Structures are given as C-alpha cells and as structure tokens.
Amino acid sequence: MNVLVDHNLRGHAVLLSGSILSGGWLDWVDLRFITFDEMRLPVNSDDRLVWQLAQSNQMILLTANRSMKGENSLEQVMREEITSASLPVITIGNADRLLSDPAYRERCATRLVEIVLDINVYRGVSRLFIP
C-alpha cells in the first residue's frame, strides 16, 4: 500500500518507516511512503487536489493538519466526494509527540500497519486518527 505523506510530515514518515522496519512489519505488509515531490505535487496544493490525487492513485493520505474550513478543505472534499471505495485519510493525532516520544511513534506505526492490513474494512471511512 502506498501512503501519500503530507508535505510537512516527511521527517515523521522517515521515523515511522524506521519503526515499521525495525518492528518486522514489512514481513506482513507492503507499505511505501510517497512524498509530494515524488508525485510532482506542489506543497501549496489545495486539499481537494491532494485528496483526489491520493484516491486516483489508490494511496492513503497521511496528514496532521489539513484544513477543515472552506470549499476545498479536506473535510468538505470528503463530504462531497467520498464513496464506498475511497481510501481513508490517516491523521496523526499529535505530530510533535511522534517526533519526541518513541513509544507513541511505535503505537502510531503499529496502528498504521493494522489499518493497511485490513484496508478493505476502512474503505469508505473518511478519516482515521492514529494512534
């Protein structure tokens, strides 16, 4: 499963990836973090474009702070465009804590892996918070 990493979470994704690797989770799940740069997506892209790109490429969007107000806010886009086949947006509950607290980071990594392993259960769910 490919995970589109919001532009401000690249460092977070590196740490999550390390936790997933060291935990042996890659034996159980194929998980790859994709950056905005890899997708040629400008960092100032609005939430609608980011969500649509993730969905059209069958990627989970990993975020921490996407907008909740306005016609192109992530919340509005999901209300308008979500279907039963849509992949969820995964939101890190406390991005700063993920950077500074190894136990919290491990819980986030484990929860992300659990979601990916059962991804079909979560299709059509708009947003999931981790851990």
Distance separating alpha carbons of residues 39 and 22, to the nearest angstrom: 27
Show Cβ contacts of residue 104 under 8 Å, excluding neighbours closer than 6 positions. Answer: 94, 97, 98, 131
Query: pLDDT tens digits for 95-109?
Result: 999 999 999 999 999
All structural domains of the chain with their residue ranges: 2-130
pTM of the shown model? 0.93
Mean of per-residue pLDDT scores for the chain? 94
Span 62-91, mean pLDDT? 89
pLDDT attached to residue 5: 98
CATH 3.30.930 fits 2-130, yes or no: no
Span 24-31, mean pLDDT? 92
